[in-house]
Chains A and B, each alone.
Chain A
Amino acid sequence: MKRERQLGIIYSAPMGLWLTIFFLIPISIIVIYSFLKKGLYGGVEWQFTLKAYQEMFNPAFLKVLWRTLWVSVVATAITLLLALPCGYAMARSRHQIFWLALIIVPFWTNSLIRIYAWIAILSSEGFINELLLSLGIIKESLSLIYNQQAVITVLVYINIPFAILPLFTTIDKFDFQLLEAARDLGATKRKAIFKVLLPSIRSGIITALIFTFIPIFGAYTTPLLVGGKDSYMIGNIIVDQVTKTRNWPLASAFSLIITLLSTLGVIWILVSGMQDKAKGVVK
């Protein structure tokens, strides 16, 4: 038993050390910064203050926070709903590597280039509008870009591989005989999927959820490029605080709060997952 304990440390220590040195130490600087006075030209002055935290309760910020939240929830939900069948189909396919490659390949061109391509697709003289016009489905160009729908579309687009990958990996490990067994016992196909498949790939779903929700919540480029005049998200505010308004403590405070909230969220997901397992929910 003692040997085992050592083994665990040996396995985990390299990463633990790496993250402590190159992540925890830098980040603690940021934590300290959030309690300091902002420097006139960026940076901080070494003087304790809670001003950054007070500044956060600005109604303008809360509005953006609310907008960010609903955009993220909608985009994440769409991403997962699309990714689940994809992961399932890939896991059941004979040509897994082929599909995996197809999912990954588009992502080896820079995301900025692809976002600009989306602008070309969605704009009023873009591909979709031209197609619909020439087919006579619409009479006037639809405004598909520079609004919230465009932001959500592109966010789903950017993040969907990060949902498909973990889902595929877990579904691939799933014993499909269980599904057949459930069917034999009289479950409908849908029932078999919801009651047997989904609970047993729970960890994959949670991973996919974390992988997509968090980057979407912190999105910066997408709302900036395909959003309209009122598409600012929290990521944009934080960047602005670092660069344009030069208020580093406020940016730090924002990041700290976001980190704390998402940490709580993730812990909650993990704990409830563990409880489920303990209760034997996985049927």
Chain B
Amino acid sequence: MRILLVEDDRETASYLIKALREAGHVPDHAADGEEGGFLVDSNKYDVIVVDRMLPKKDGLTLVEETRRKGNDTPVLILSALGQVDDRVTGLRAGGDDYLAKPYAFSELLARIEVLARRRKPGEAETVLKVGDLELDRLSHLVRRGDVNIPLQPREFRLLEYLMKHAGQVVTRTMLLENVWDYHFDPQTNVIDVHISRLRSKIDKGFAEPLLHTVRGAGYMVRDGVR
């Protein structure tokens, strides 16, 4: 994936560029808002990662200008400000996701991959399938093979989100934000408990586990055969 990183801190940038390359992506780097704007206009990216405070041109202005030109490349805004209202301004400016500094690289990578995937067509599938697990978004029914699996509404949404991003790492924070719409950090590992409960419903008694824990990063629903 082609990724543009607009970040003024050289050290952070070089570390991120290296890590993104290792993860199999093709990153470009811009050190300020103007250079970022130039690169956005002259290249086609899958995801743009923009720091909010940049020299020469502020990150939010860059995003607004990009959107005004009709460019709808997914944008992830990075910021040292992490409060709900800052997030709201960031998203209102045209950002697709918002990540507060300091963040774990695994979190950034997971979000970049989910953002890039979001653009691909066929998103409106009514039935999500992973291996022999099926989730019907209209009838709200979940079945694995021949077995119907009854789920609580929230468990359904949790599984739906994981299956929508099947094959991708989904972090705990992403689950909190997208399934529960909470932007705070619960002190206890609440998400882990929800996941283990879901796992006991969809994986227990089946030979092939589908819901995997990605160490140090989060979770992934994946058909083990692939």
- A complexed with B: no
**Which A residues lie at the B interface, using CB under 8 A?**
none
